[in-house]
């Protein structure tokens, strides 16, 4: 299992770069993951989306771009602007949760 040093911690990752142990996730780790995805700053709106995704994961809710867009947290258009180049992949990676099955 690959590991990476982020925010002074050794983080366990899968072969696609997603965290395998959510207990290792911190906001500082998220900031480093975001930088690795070319997102230089996480705004309040980024954090709202991240918190929503983590809540969905805790509740075993299946995630999709459409579901996030209808959540009231953000729109699909805004999700693409916040996490360009693969919004659900990038946002879940930064949130420290596994890649959703709906992502290719």
Active site residues: 103
Whole-angstrom distance, CA of residue 37 vs CA of residue 55: 22
d(CA 36, CA 13): 14
* Sign of torsion over alpha carbons 7, 89, 101, 71: positive
């Amino acid at each position: 299992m690959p590991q990476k040093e982020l925010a002074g911690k050794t983080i366990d990752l899968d072969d696609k770069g997603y965290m395998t142990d959510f207990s290792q996730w911190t906001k500082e780790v998220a900031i480093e993951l975001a930088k690795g995805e070319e997102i230089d700053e996480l705004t309040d709106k980024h954090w709202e989306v991240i918190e929503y995704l983590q809540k969905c994961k805790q509740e075993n809710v299946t995630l999709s771009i459409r579901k996030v867009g209808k959540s009231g947290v953000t729109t699909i258009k805004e999700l693409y602007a916040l996490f360009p180049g693969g919004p659900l992949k990038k946002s879940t990676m930064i949130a420290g949760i596994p890649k959703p099955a709906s992502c290719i």
